[in-house]
Amino acid sequence: MGNRQEVVRGTLGLIILRTLDTMGPLHGYRLARRIEQISGDRLALNQGSLYPALLKLELEGAIRAYWDASESGRRVKVYALTRRGRTRLRQETAAWRSTTDLIARFFASGETQ
Amino acid sequence: MWDLHANWRRVRGVLFSRSADEDLREAIGGHLEEAQDEYMRRGYSPVDARRAALRDFGGVTQAIEAHRDLRSLPWLEAARRDINQAVRVMSRKPAFFLATSLVLALSSAVALASFSAVHGILLRPLPYVHANRLVSIKHDVGGRQLSDVGISSGLYFHYRGNARTVEEIGSYDNRAFTLQTPEGNARLTGASVDAAFFRVLGATAVAGRLFTDEDGAPGFMNLRWTIPIVISHGLWVQRFGRDPTIEGRIVTLGDNQRVIVGVLPEGFAFPRPDTQVWMLMEMSERSAQLASSFSRRALARVRAGLSTSDVAAELNHLIGSSAGRVSGATPEAINELRISALVSPLKDEVVGDVGRVLWPLALSMSALVLMGTLNAGALFLVHAEQRRHEGLVRLAMGARPVQVRRMCLAEAAMVTLTAAAASVWFANVILQGFRSPLFELPRASELSIDWRMLVGALLLAVIQAVCLAGASARRMASGDLSCLGSGARGTDNRRAVRSGNVLLAGQIGVAVCLLVFAALMGTTYHNLTRIPLGFSPTDVVALDVTLSNRLADRHSTTFQELIDRLELLPGVQSASAVSSLPLSVTEHLFPIEPAGEPVAFKFFVPGYFETMGIAILEGSVPATRNVASDKRPVVISRTLARRLSPEKTAVGNIIPRLGRDGALLTLPNHKDGRVEAVEPFSVVAVADDVRDSSLRQAPSPIVYVPVTTPPVERSIVPTNMVVLLRTAGPPSLTVEAARREVPAVSPGLTVGQVRTLDELVARETWREASLAMALAFGATASGVLALVGIYSTVAAITRRRWHEIAIRRALGAKPAEMMAMVSLGSLRPTLLGLSLGTVGALAGTRALSSILYGIGPTDFGTYVMVLCVFLAAGALAAAVAALQATRCDPAATLRRISA
């Protein structure tokens, strides 16, 4: 637990979109747990910070929210990716890959010297 | 697009922030319970599971705050808070809210209605194609002392053929028709127009068609030809049930068959607002004369880019060059007749002189808006004074001045916007009153509150809100908390007194202005009602009765018989009939001297002078229907008698019979067909003068021609007569009996409009009466408010100087001295207000001067009276307020100060 990593600033939105794309619609707790599990419990996610991020994505039209019942039959708010969100995910994934490739090149060139 | 959506969701989030919060709390609650369940599945106790779930979640409050920040719009959030605060304040003070809203709403409504009338009647273009290029063409004929008359047939065809400054020229004349139907006859207002008339106005038909040049082309009047008519939308709906196949329907107008060819659109109202039938009538070019009758009117559409003066210049040039081109136009005749063309916008013709009333009314009513705003301002100042403590505490707690100003703006806007909404409703009610037929306003059917007026009301509300909030915020946020405990003092207090004094002076100024206007209009109305009419209108009712043209030969006997029968009705004291009433339009105008001014001919059934109460000054009126066959006796008015024989009696004078062109009238003899001069009239009596054209105009010369046997020539026999009944009591009971009697005498008789002579006289003064009443209402309202202002000023001074009064009383000052001391505080603003009001009234009465009668706009007596009345009322209000000063108990007050 001691080496858990903070979420890199500005990436939570992309993480949420990616998770919803993979897992389909999820309610808040399930989404938070899923993100933690995918990160192998390396990500120190403050679950409460998910909600402002979800609202931001909802306002931007990338996701939509609706009330539904959870597996335990409890009334929960469920978040699902929209078409706009899917497009955005594609664009941001490409941009992220290009950035990490670029950074990786720098590190690679440093190691060869 | 999506930003718009996001912003809308944010706006919704602000407006429904409570529900968004609840939503989020529920979502977080579900989240925590799910987490708690999972921890319990892992073996945690419920308490530990809850704790662990909360730890994982982080701060719930922080999450809610972050969520709230994200969905908010800061400015909207602040506005929502201000509005909520304003609603709370106003709901705690409903009396203040209602009083200020009502003051603003009533004052704005009157102004809004007046300006709607000015806009709808005077400023808005007529509802025709190229309305700004439509003109009316009239003439002055100096050689015949005719001014502002229509067009002769000669000039009409001359202009049509040669004028280049106009695209199209048409002619028309007002007429009345009787529509005969199996259910009964109906009187219709109508016009005779030529085919070009509708083209000039750019009218189109909603059913059928309008007149074409072929309709009236020369040579197609054959036996099968029926004169075409066009009907109004209203008549089509009421009489013909919107029949779509109306084209070609034959109807009987008068005694003739007419064919309906089309229907005009709704709202088409020319030449009169109530015209129902337009009949085709083309003037004959073959018999056109330069100086034939000028009774027909002309209208034209000016070519784009040219002005009325360009048209007038061309037409006057055409008149000058008409010699040899128009029948009867010789250089001598042109010189002698001195014809000049008058070209004016058609709107001026339609609207008439109603602008003389509407503009002063609207301007006076805007003074009422100022007054209303000033009064609401005074109320807001009191309100701000009461809330000053709150304002200063807010500032001391760190609120910025702009927040206090915003709060004041929200309160003021709530009042002014409510007032604006109410004023639109009130104004609509007032406009409905204007539309009533009583006012006979031109274009009344077009009156409405349109979007311009709504924008105006909104703008006014915004300006008022900014002014009221400004005054309120200045008062609320001025000074600091230390000045509250001991009451307002120092420079801050002096500023408040100064602004209060300026407000009071403004109120007094507006009140004085309106009082002067009201006094001048009231005197005008009084002067008009005191004018001797020359007849007695009380208990006389008038019925328009038309005789069918085919029975015109029996005119004299039919009307005599009708009058004889009506006189027998219960309640009828006397009955008679005349071709035109006083204070109405006279159709029969003929010259009685060559080159003399035309004189009104009125045809009457014996008994007219007794029924009307017109005194006979000399001679005697023929009392029977048969007179000696070689005499044609007439009665003349005193003005005419003085003109005909200034020195001696006019009885016995001979009045020659002249045509409209001034030539001796000749007619073929019935026996042998020889053309002979018509028998002249012989004056047998002189009647007292009556006001015939209008109350303001001097009595006009009149020739009263008895409807007797032998009759006057057929061409001038009036088939439209007005039957008069002088009744013993209210005339309404007699009217129904009379209506039943008319068709019993002859089926060719039709009853039209019915009105009392009192109504006829009252109609002459309604403009002055309504203006005087509106001004008196405004003056009373503003006068009372100004007096309340004086009272409150003195009362405030008394409260402020209470300690000083106690000390002075203790030192031996008399109560009267104390009263004088506090009363004098209101003297300066009162004198300033009186001067402002006098200057304002002197400047404003110029607009009224054209409508005043028997009094000048700067009448010294009126100004002195108004100022004296106001000074006296002001002194009384001040004295009543100053009475408090005499009730000051020095001992008790001084004990309180020392404590």
pLDDT for B309-343, tens place per residue? 999 999 999 998 888 888 888 888 888 888 999 99
Report strand pairing: B166-181 vs B184-193. Answer: antiparallel
What residue of A is the nearest CA neighbor of B3? A60
Partner residue facing B27 (CB), from A28, A33, A46: A28
* SS3 state of residue B616: strand
Give the model's pLDDT for residue B367: 74
Give the model's pLDDT for residue B661: 65
Assess contact for B263 and B206: CB atoms under 8 A.
yes
Give the model's pLDDT for residue B851: 81
CA–CA separation, B721 vs B750, rounded Å? 10
Give the model's pLDDT for residue B216: 66
Tell me the residue length of chain A.
Answer: 113
Average pLDDT over every residue of B370-393 = 80
Residues of chain A positioned with their CB less than 8 A from the CB of B68: none
Q: Best residue in B14, B34, B64 to probe A by mutation, most A CBs within 10 Å?
A: B34
* Two tokens, residue B485: 């405990």
Residues of chain A positioned with their CB less than 8 A from the CB of B34: 27, 29-30, 70, 72, 74, 76
Residues of chain B positioned with their CB less than 8 A from the CB of A84: 2
Q: Contact A59/B27, CB-based, under 8 Å? A: no
Q: Contact A76/B62, CB-based, under 8 Å? A: no
User: What pLDDT band is residue B710 in, cutting at 50, 70 and 90?
Assistant: low
Residues of chain B positioned with their CB less than 8 A from the CB of A74: 30, 33-34
Q: Residue B167: pLDDT above 90?
A: yes
Q: In this predicted model, what pLDDT tens digit does every residue of B601-634 receive, in sequence order?
A: 899 988 899 999 999 998 888 776 555 555 688 9
CA–CA separation, B426 vs B433, rounded Å? 11
Using beta carbons and an 8 Å cutoff, which residues of A are at the interface with B? Answer: 27-30, 32-33, 46-49, 51-52, 55-56, 58-61, 70, 72, 74-77, 84
Partner residue facing B34 (CB), from A51, A55, A74: A74
DSSP code for B648 = S
Residues of chain B positioned with their CB less than 8 A from the CB of A76: 27, 30-31, 34
Q: Residue B865: pLDDT above 90?
A: yes
Q: In this predicted model, what pLDDT tens digit does every residue of B798-808 receive, in sequence order?
A: 877 788 888 88
User: What pLDDT band is residue B489 in, cutting at 50, 70 and 90?
Assistant: very low
Q: In this predicted model, what pLDDT tens digit does every residue of B37-81 receive, in sequence order?
A: 999 999 999 999 999 999 989 888 888 888 888 877 777 778 888
Q: In degrees, to the nearest 5, what angle opens at C-alpha B735 toward C-alphas B729 and B736?
A: 125
Assess contact for B290 and B327: CB atoms under 8 A.
yes
- DSSP run (H or E) holding B52: helix B46-57
Q: Contact B27/A61, CB-based, under 8 Å? A: no
User: What pLDDT band is residue B478 in, cutting at 50, 70 and 90?
Assistant: low
CA–CA separation, B745 vs B563, rounded Å? 10
Q: Contact A47/B35, CB-based, under 8 Å? A: yes
Nearest Cα of chain B lies from the Cα of A59 at a distance, in angstroms, of: 5
Sequence-distant (6+) residues with CB within 8 A of B335 are none
Taking alpha carbons only, the member of B357, B365, B354 closest to residue B441 is B354
Q: In this predicted model, what pLDDT tens digit does every residue of A69-109 receive, in sequence order?
A: 988 888 999 999 999 999 999 999 999 999 889 989 888 87
**Of A30-44, B2-16, B149-163, B285-299, minimum mean pLDDT range:** B2-16
CA–CA separation, B802 vs B797, rounded Å? 8
* Two tokens, residue A89: 């995910």
Residues of chain B positioned with their CB less than 8 A from the CB of A53: none
* Two tokens, residue B755: 């009105």
Report the first-to-last Cα separation within chain A, whole angstroms. 35
Q: Residue B753: pLDDT above 70?
A: yes
Partner residue facing A55 (CB), from B35, B58, B71: B71
Residues of chain A positioned with their CB less than 8 A from the CB of B56: 32, 47
User: What pLDDT band is residue B393 in, cutting at 50, 70 and 90?
Assistant: confident
Q: Residue B1: pLDDT above 70?
A: no
Nearest Cα of chain B lies from the Cα of A34 at a distance, in angstroms, of: 12
Give the model's pLDDT for residue B485: 47
Q: Contact B70/A52, CB-based, under 8 Å? A: yes
Nearest Cα of chain A lies from the Cα of B51 at a distance, in angstroms, of: 14
Residues of chain A positioned with their CB less than 8 A from the CB of B62: 48
What residue of B is the nearest CA neighbor of A29? B31
* Average pLDDT for chain B: 84
Residues of chain B positioned with their CB less than 8 A from the CB of A75: 26, 30
Nearest Cα of chain A lies from the Cα of B57 at a distance, in angstroms, of: 4
Using beta carbons and an 8 Å cutoff, which residues of B are at the interface with A? Answer: 2, 5-6, 9-10, 23-24, 26-28, 30-35, 37-38, 56-60, 62-63, 66-67, 69-71
Beta bridge partners of B664: B658
Q: Best residue in B26, B31, B61 to probe A by mutation, most A CBs within 10 Å?
A: B31
* Two tokens, residue B196: 């070009």
Residue type, B858: T
Q: How many CB pairs under 8 A join A and B?
A: 78
Average pLDDT over every residue of B667-676 = 72
Q: Contact A27/B31, CB-based, under 8 Å? A: yes
Give the model's pLDDT for residue B144: 74
Q: Best residue in A45, A49, A55, A60 to probe B by mutation, most B CBs within 10 Å?
A: A55
Partner residue facing B59 (CB), from A33, A48, A77: A48
User: What pLDDT band is residue B302 in, cutting at 50, 70 and 90?
Assistant: very high
Q: Contact B34/A29, CB-based, under 8 Å? A: yes
Give the model's pLDDT for residue A110: 61
CA–CA separation, A84 vs B511, rounded Å? 67
Nearest Cα of chain A lies from the Cα of B69 at a distance, in angstroms, of: 9
Per-residue burial over B89-105, b = 16 or more CB atoms within 10 Å of its CB, e = otherwise: bbeeeeebbeebbbbbb
Partner residue facing B30 (CB), from A55, A56, A75: A75
Rama region for B148: left / alpha / beta (φ>0; ψ in -120 to 50; rest): left
Average pLDDT over every residue of B410-436 = 90
Residues of chain B positioned with their CB less than 8 A from the CB of A63: none
Q: Contact A52/B27, CB-based, under 8 Å? A: no
Nearest Cα of chain A lies from the Cα of B406 at a distance, in angstroms, of: 30
User: What pLDDT band is residue B861 in, cutting at 50, 70 and 90?
Assistant: very high
* Two tokens, residue B281: 């009538």
User: What pLDDT band is residue B473 in, cutting at 50, 70 and 90?
Assistant: confident
* Two tokens, residue B358: 């509407």
Q: Contact B67/A55, CB-based, under 8 Å? A: yes
Residues of chain B positioned with their CB less than 8 A from the CB of A32: 31, 56
Average pLDDT over every residue of B522-544 = 90
Average pLDDT over every residue of B651-664 = 79
Q: Best residue in A47, A79, A83 to probe B by mutation, most B CBs within 10 Å?
A: A47
* SS3 state of residue B589: strand
Could you give phi then psi for residue B164, rounded to 5 degrees? -105, -15
Residues of chain A positioned with their CB less than 8 A from the CB of B63: 48-49, 51-52
**pTM of the predicted protein model:** 0.61
Give the model's pLDDT for residue B715: 64
Q: Please report how the helices A83-112 and A12-23 are oriented relative to each other, as an axis angle in degrees rounded to 10.
A: 120
Report strand pairing: B572-578 vs A26-27. Answer: unpaired
Residue type, B67: H
Taking alpha carbons only, the member of B786, B784, B778 closest to residue B360 is B778
Partner residue facing A70 (CB), from B34, B56, B70: B34
Q: Contact A49/B33, CB-based, under 8 Å? A: no
Q: Residue B495: pLDDT above 70?
A: no
Assess contact for B633 and B681: CB atoms under 8 A.
yes
